[in-house]
Amino acid sequence: MTRMYKSISEETSEVNEALASYDKSITRYSQLVSIIGGSKALKKDISNEMDLIKITRVGLPKKSLDALAKKLGVSMERMSALLHISHRTLQRKSPTDHLSVHVSEQILSIAEVIRKGIEVMGDQDRLEIWLHSELSSLNHKKPIDLMDTTFGTRILIRILGRIEHGVY
């Protein structure tokens, strides 16, 4: 005869796992928002993937790019190269002007690499060293040099995942 009901400890364990997963995703989005200037800069809260899609379609404010550049420790000229947009175009934008969908999406991809990198490396300083170091797994390129495309940011997320699990 099969058991039809779960014990209280089994149900409690499942609820705790679900809560832990939920807390982790909320933390992920709050960290991402922090990297791009905080919810005050965005004037919206982000708590799931659909919120990311909405904010990308509207366009991130330029001040999010300023926050990201500061977090990466790079100049706006370097950021413009990573985003394939002229530096002069960025200079003309006010902090509240919205960026294009493409640029906003790339900013969020870069922010996700930073978020994952800080999680894996332990702190911002170690991440910056890693981002600016030539890696043999990248044909002796620097991770930051791959952040100009979505494919590059995906590769970096995969490498960080491998480092996190000790497979690197």
Residues of the chain with pLDDT under 50: 18-22
> Which residue pairs from 79-83 have beta carbons closer than 8 angstroms and sit at least 24 positions apart in sequence?
81/148, 82/106, 82/110, 82/144, 82/147, 82/148, 83/107, 83/148
DSSP annotation of 135: B
Q: pLDDT tens for residues 2-51?
A: 555 555 555 555 555 544 444 555 688 899 999 999 988 888 888 899 99
- For 45, the 3-state DSSP assignment is coil
